[in-house]
Amino acid sequence: MKIQLDRRLFKYALHVFIVIAMAIIVYQALENMGYFTGQLMTLWKWIRRILSPFIIGIFAAYILNPGVRRFEESIYGRIGFLKDNTRIKRLLSISSMFLIVLLFFVMIFVVVTPRVISSISDIMRNFPDYMENTIASVENLEGTLRAQNLDAFFQEFQIIEEVKDWLENGFRYIRESLDEIIDMIFFQITNITSGILNFFIGMIMAFYLLYDKNIIKKNINKILYTLFSKETVYKINDFGRDADDLFGRYIVGRTIDSSIIGFIAFIGLSILGIPYRLLFSIIIGVTNMIPYFGPYLGGIPIIIVTMFSSLNEALWVALFILALQQFDGLVLGPKILGDSVGIRPIWIILSIYVGGRIFGILGMFLGVPVFAVIVMFLERLINKRLEKRGITEREAESAPPRPGNPTEELES
């Protein structure tokens, strides 16, 4: 007896098997993310230790390049005797950017850093008082509720005791976290002190990278022409320009947006009379660099710390932060950033999650533009493949017609 295979049923079964297999693979990959993260971090630490000055130089040159270009084109390029002297224009532009960076770091270390450290130290010094005041408030609440003849209810469920235990454990955790933050700050300061030589060498490399950037681009193009065809080199250059534009718009836009939000936060917290407003506004501005999750990462600890001293102030701070983030999301952010990355919110959330799991806070910030560049590359690759097969974008986005009904076409 000959067995007849239903090809259609076999095809559907194969599709189901592939989907289930891919789901299992993705699940296992996420479950073992810690192992891959550990391996990547080990490799990154080794690379960073060996190539630290070079990495600092490349990063600094990339960050400073838009400012150097702006000085060169809009300021020094308009001075008559400098218009045709490219070397002097670039030298003055680089020097101007380095002077701005120097003044910025001087302001940070002289004005901001001492006040931030003083605020953190003050919070830690007053922490026992915060704990006692909070527990006293809970006990007062207990007395008020017991006056309403709820003794049997409290004795049955032991609510106040549970709340006190939860508060004590929470305070202990927060105190340990603050101790770790202080240790981390001093550890980082020690690392910065020990790495001054690497930073100095990196800035020298950044200076020469900016000064010789046109020569570097020409040499890279020469190498590309020896490896690829002219058409491929054109595509690589075009993709590089678009990726650089995307990164630049995102980083500059996020920096400007977060700086404005931090400044508004400082003014608002000052009007409300909130202590530690400089520290809180810096936290709000820095965490705002992370899309979606950043405002909550910065706002929740601020509200908790404020709640220790005054519940009313904590409520006003919560309302202010909520209004500030709505203003950023609905008005300021779209004005400054627009559609800077061009990907859907679900992919932004995924890139933040994956970037955070692999590289921590830095990964949460840079994960979005990196993922956007990957999406842009895949879109161009897919469009090129579709073009070779003679399939239009509309045809590719629609479902194929059902068998027996060739005129039916469903939009995906």
Helix, coil or strand: residue 85: coil
Q: Give the separation between CA 282 and CA 263, rounded to whole angstroms.
A: 8
Q: Which distant-in-sequence residues (6+ apart) come within 8 Å of 155 by Cβ?
A: none
Residues 288, 257 contacting (CB under 8 angstroms): yes
Q: Extract the tokens encoding 70.
A: 């702006």
Most confident range (mean pLDDT) of 104-118, 183-197, 346-360 is 104-118
Residues 6+ apart with CB under 8 A from 277: 266, 269, 270
DSSP 409: -
- Candidates 361, 319, 329; CA nearest to 258 is 329
Q: How confident is the model at residue 171 (pLDDT cuts 50, 70, 90)?
A: low
* pLDDT of 264: 92
pLDDT digits (tens, 9 = 90+) for 211-263: 998 898 889 989 989 988 888 888 888 888 888 888 878 888 888 888 899 99
How far is residue 357's CA from residue 360's CA, in Å, rounded to a whole number? 6
Say what the pLDDT of residue 150 is: 55
Q: Is the pTM of this model over 0.75?
A: no
